[in-house]
Amino acid sequence: MKRFLKALAMCQSMFCALPVLGNFWDEDARPLMLLFLPLVGLEIGLLWQGLAWLCGVLGLPALLSGLFLCLFPYLITGGIHLDGYMDVADAMGSCRDLEKRRAILKDPHIGSFAALALGMALLSGFALLSQGGRGSLWLIPVVSRCGSALAVTGLRPMSGSQYAGARPPAWQKGILWAALAAAGIAAWFFGSVPAYFGGIVGYFLAAAWAYRGLDGMNGDVAGYALTVSELTALAFAVCWEAVGWC
pLDDT digits (tens, 9 = 90+) for 99-150: 898 988 888 888 899 999 999 999 999 999 999 888 999 999 999 999 999 9
DSSP state letters, 7-53: HHHHHHHHH--S---S----GGGGGGGGGGHHHHHHHHHHHHHHHHH
Of 26-40, 44-58, 151-165, which has the strongest mean pLDDT?
Answer: 44-58
51-59 contacts at long range (C-beta below 8 A, 24 or more positions apart): 52/134, 52/137
Long-range contacts of 102-107 (CB under 8 A, 24+ apart): 102/158, 102/214, 105/214, 105/220
pTM assigned to the model: 0.92
Q: What's the pLDDT tens digit per position in 4-20?
A: 888 888 888 889 888 87
d(CA 198, CA 202): 6
Rounded alpha-carbon distances, angstroms, from residue 198 to 65, 106, 233? 23, 30, 4
Mean pLDDT for the chain?
90
Domain residue ranges in the chain = 36-242
Tell me the C-alpha distance between 54 and 65, whole Å. 9
Cβ neighbours of residue 238 under 8 Å, at least 6 residues apart?
Answer: 128, 131, 132, 133
pLDDT in tens, 149-194: 999 988 888 876 666 555 667 788 899 999 999 999 999 999 999 9
Q: What is the pLDDT of residue 246?
A: 47
Mark out the alpha helices in 59-111 (DSSP H runs).
62-76, 80-93, 98-106
